[in-house]
Amino acid sequence: MELTIQQALEQATTAHKDGNLQDAERLYRAILQAEPANADANHNMGSLALSSGQVEAALPFFKIALDAMPSIEQFWVSYIDTLVKNNQLKDAKLVVERAKKEGMDAKNMDALLIQPKPMEEIRILYENCPLCESNNISKSVVGDCSQQSLYNRIIPPIMQWMDCEDCQHQFINGHFTDEALEVIFSITPEHTTFGHNFEEGRKLAARMIDAVAPYQSCGTWLDVGFGNGSLLLTADEYGYEPIGVDLREDGVVALKAEGIQAHCDLVQNIEFEKSISVVSMMDVLEHIPYPKEVLMSMHSIMDEDGILLVSMPNSESWLWKFWSRENKNPYFNTIEHYHNFSKTRLVSLLDECGFTFKKYRVSERYRSGMEIIAQRN
Ligand SMILES: [Zn+2]
């Protein structure tokens, strides 16, 4: 049975989405043989070329797609974007002017002409391993953060990961400058806004608190980076005395409005009136340039036998290995992460900072996540 063009296109895009790129390309080419100016098949062939790094080869496909259907904004975006990537800035500017005349959004089109700043203006490069200070570090895998929701076009899209040969830690080549951070965090992702999806968050939080309770069932609970607040409010419900720290001002204001102690500062700069019984840092350490400093500072404000709860993706999980093998590890592209911790390295770091490993759990918060409970020595 012969496929119609529409059926072939559906099969091709499904194969494309599923990562079966050879099948997708074969089908697109068959469509183009029957209908050389087919806009979707041309556009998707361009995307295929881009994803294998063939910027110049992508251009004619994007151009045919655009000429065939100039009312589709995505076709303008793909063509202009690729001209910029191919260093044809003059041509790109001309096409942007045409796009505006055709009624495309002027602001969106102008934004396409913004080029990434040099890496050293965006990241402060690590000269040593940020955990063990060894200078025995080497380049590792490369990611691409340009498809992330927090991505801004002034950021170089390449993410160069580094390996420490001495302590086996993996980290990004440099942490962001203040200027870059301001641009990236001008967007507040919905899941970090205070009170977001609290009903689901409360159940998740209860399972974390149930894991901590056998080690520490009362006292002050300091949540660093409390985000939507679900862990802290649920800890309050269990009878802990909650204290919140977050760098997002609106969350801190919202927590204070509920009558709960909250601070908007780096946690190591805050003076707490009481000693802390439980510190939780859920998906925080992988965002901090030097996590050891923060862990040491937590040690100094905690009760003897106080409990530390941390979570982050685990680079030793099988899931992580499967993703990496199939070339689809989402964390290599995660713009806001500086570290890929393994369980082994995290446990030894905690030990260096005066904490004894107690319990390992799979974190339900994020993909491939781990949770570790440790006790202050
Ligand atoms: Zn190291």
Q: 175: closest CA among 289, 63, 61?
A: 289
Give residue 169 CA to ligand 1 midpoint distance, Å.
5
Give residue 349 CA to ligand 1 midpoint distance, Å.
10
- What pLDDT band is residue 365 in, cutting at 50, 70 and 90? confident
Q: In a 3-state reduction of DSSP, which class is residue 183?
A: helix
Give residue 346 CA to ligand 1 midpoint distance, Å.
12
H-type helices in 1-128, by residue range? Answer: 5-17, 21-34, 39-51, 55-68, 73-85, 89-101, 106-111, 119-122
Distance CA 78, CA 67 (A): 13
Give residue 53 CA to ligand 1 midpoint distance, Å.
32
Give residue 121 CA to ligand 1 midpoint distance, Å.
25
246: number of Cβ within 10 Å: 25
Give residue 182 CA to ligand 1 midpoint distance, Å.
28
Distance CA 28, CA 10 (A): 10
Q: 353: closest CA among 287, 250, 281?
A: 281
User: Is the confidence at residue 169, as pLDDT, over 80?
Assistant: yes
Give residue 174 CA to ligand 1 midpoint distance, Å.
14
Give residue 249 CA to ligand 1 midpoint distance, Å.
34
Distance CA 224, CA 46 (A): 44
Mean pLDDT estimate for the chain: 94
Give residue 180 CA to ligand 1 midpoint distance, Å.
25
Q: In a 3-state reduction of DSSP, which class is residue 370?
A: strand
Query: What residues flank ion ligand 1 with Cβ within 5 A?
Result: 129, 131-132, 134, 164, 166-167, 169
| Structure confidence at residue 164 (pLDDT) | 98
**pLDDT one-digit tens code per residue, 267-323:** 999 999 999 999 999 999 999 999 999 999 999 999 999 999 999 999 999 999 999
- What pLDDT band is residue 340 in, cutting at 50, 70 and 90? very high
| Structure confidence at residue 191 (pLDDT) | 80
Mean pLDDT for 160-171 is 98
Give residue 137 CA to ligand 1 midpoint distance, Å.
8
Instruction: Quote the radius of gyration of the chain (alpha carbons, Å).
Output: 24
Give residue 330 CA to ligand 1 midpoint distance, Å.
23
Distance CA 12, CA 33 (A): 14
**pLDDT one-digit tens code per residue, 341-353:** 999 999 999 999 9
Q: 43: closest CA among 26, 66, 25, 22?
A: 66
Which residues neighbour 371 within 8 Å (Cβ) at sequence distance 6 or greater?
208, 211, 309, 310, 311, 360, 361, 362, 363
Which residues neighbour 82 within 8 Å (Cβ) at sequence distance 6 or greater?
46, 50, 55, 58, 59, 62
Q: Is 53 exposed, middle or buried (0-12, 13-18, 19+ CB in 10 A)?
A: exposed
Pick 191 or 64 by higher pLDDT. Answer: 64
129: number of Cβ within 10 Å: 21
Give residue 145 CA to ligand 1 midpoint distance, Å.
24
Give residue 132 CA to ligand 1 midpoint distance, Å.
4
- The domains of the chain, with CATH numbers, are 5-111 (1.25.40.10), 119-184 (no CATH), 190-376 (3.40.50.150)
Mean pLDDT for 11-27 is 91
**pLDDT one-digit tens code per residue, 189-213:** 778 889 899 999 999 999 999 999 9
Distance CA 130, CA 312 (A): 17
User: In this structure, is the dihedral angle defined by the CA atoms of residues 131, 349, 365 and 230, taken in order, positive or negative?
Assistant: negative
Distance CA 308, CA 295 (A): 9
The percentage of the chain sitting over the pLDDT mark of 70, rounded to a whole number, equals 100
- What pLDDT band is residue 185 in, cutting at 50, 70 and 90? confident
Give residue 283 CA to ligand 1 midpoint distance, Å.
20
Give residue 184 CA to ligand 1 midpoint distance, Å.
27
Mean pLDDT for 241-259 is 95
User: In this structure, is the dihedral angle defined by the CA atoms of residues 84, 145, 228 and 323, taken in order, positive or negative?
Assistant: positive
- Tokens at residue 271, please? 């003076």
Give residue 125 CA to ligand 1 midpoint distance, Å.
15
| Structure confidence at residue 209 (pLDDT) | 98
Give residue 322 CA to ligand 1 midpoint distance, Å.
25
